[in-house]
Chain A
Amino acid sequence: MAAPRKAACVEIGGIPIALSTDDERFLELLRQRYDGFLSSSRPEFELEFDLTSAGPVSDDDVRVRREGDEWLLERGDFHARWDPRTGCGTVRQNANPYSLDSVLRILHSLILAQRGGFLLHAASAICDGRAYLFSGVSGAGKTTMTRLAPADVTLLTDEISYLRPSADGYSAFGTPFAGELAKAGENCKAPVSALFFLEKGPENRVDELSSAEAVRRLMRNILFFAEDQGLVEKLLDTACDFVARVPIRRLTFHPDARVWDEVRNFQGVPQHA
């Protein structure tokens, strides 16, 4: 007789998703991994995990495309289907937490794209009640910025920032998706005050970016995988809207704690305010 399925509801960015499995150990793994993001809310979406029929792992790159009404999410280590009409999907993978993280990130990126939000390759943190985002190429200093943060700063993530539109701009949410810090962010949110593109330098300084340059840098750091004309159109609109509503600057910084004074004292306005 098949074991009964059990579920844990993981709520990231205010979107509760039930993750169900008949494997007790996998259930325990995901409860530990998303501790702090477990929720008793009614799930908006559900993913059923099948760990028994996962094929051999390969090096195939991620591919996300529509097949009829469903989304097909594939990579060498997972194969998933998700129907946005019912909100339900199935995932075939091994009991690998990195595969699980990837499937969740992709699913959130699809949901967010429809709702005018996005996932950004950026660290984010709350300082004095406002969220600040720190993006840039690998090695630009995202993890360094989070390590230098004063004690009163709340870390939302050191790797993947979660952004949704709000009445007065955008809100940043904490995520469990950790980078080098190997530490999940806090499960809270705050209105976004600024996005800084990081560069290391001899001194701390904040420079303007043209709106075109801001969109260019933003688009290069948004996590988006879907081969879909409609979503790409929406994502580009969202990026332009974000640039018009959130101050975006280049932050050149010398890696010591004084850079946070620069952040705390920042009083910028959007490029197109």
Chain B
Amino acid sequence: MPENCIYIARSSAIAARALAGEMMVMNSVDSTFFTLNEVATAIFQAADGHTPLREIVRDRVCEQFDVDPEQAQADAEQFVAELSGHGILLVSNQPLASETPR
């Protein structure tokens, strides 16, 4: 496993609904509310805890959206760090159990 391998999973303490290509996410702990754009939604939906982030970016972002792979990876890491800070995503360098249904 590469040293910089990142695994992401959706927290169980959230509610999420897809609407018109965007994902609405609400944290049940502090009622903060987020909307994710299409790229962020693709990453969020693929956050199953056992697919490395790099693979998600390659298969779900670069395949579907016209983006530079390196830039996409950097943006994804920033997005993951931000949502992790709000308790929406769990992040680890080990595989995680996904806490919510897709």
Instruction: Give the chain B neighbours of A233 by CB distance below 8 A.
Output: 15, 28
Task: Kindly state the separation between the CA atoms of A216 and B15 in the bound complex, as whole angstroms.
Answer: 14
Check A212–B26 contact: CB distance below 8 A.
Answer: no
Stretch at the interface among B17-25, B46-54, B61-69: B17-25
Is the CB of A71 closer than 8 A to any CB of chain B?
Answer: no
Closest chain-B Cβ to A220's Cβ sits at a distance in Å of 7
Contact B33 A229 (CB under 8 A): no
Q: Which residues of A have CB within 8 Å of B30?
A: 227
Q: Are A225 and B17 in contact (CB under 8 A)?
A: no
- Chain B contact residues: helix, strand, loop or mixed: strand
Please choose the segment from A7-15, A36-44, A234-242 that sits at the chain B interface, where 4 or more of its residues have CB less than 8 A away: A234-242
Q: Does B12 contact A (CB under 8 A)?
A: yes
Known interface pairs A215-B19, A236-B15; A225-B24 also in contact (CB < 8 Å): no
Q: Judge if A232 is at the interface, Cβ distance under 8 Å.
A: yes
Q: Are A228 and B35 in contact (CB under 8 A)?
A: no
Query: When chains A and B are docked, how far (Å) is the Cα of A231 from the Cα of B28?
Result: 8
- In the complex formed, the residue of A with least CB distance to B24 is A215
| Interfacial chain A residues near B16, Cβ < 8 Å | 236
Interface flag for A170 (CB, 8 Å): no
Which of the residues A210, A219, A232 comes within 8 Å of B20, measured between beta carbons?
A210
Interface residues of B (CB under 8 A from A): 12-17, 19-22, 24, 26-31, 33, 35
Contacts A229-B12, A232-B15, A232-B26 given; 12 further ones with Cβ under 8 A? A212-B20, A216-B33, A216-B35, A219-B33, A220-B33, A225-B31, A227-B28, A227-B29, A231-B28, A235-B26, A239-B24, A240-B24
Q: Which positions in A face B, CB cutoff 8 Å? A: 210-212, 215-216, 219-220, 224-229, 231-233, 235-237, 239-240, 243
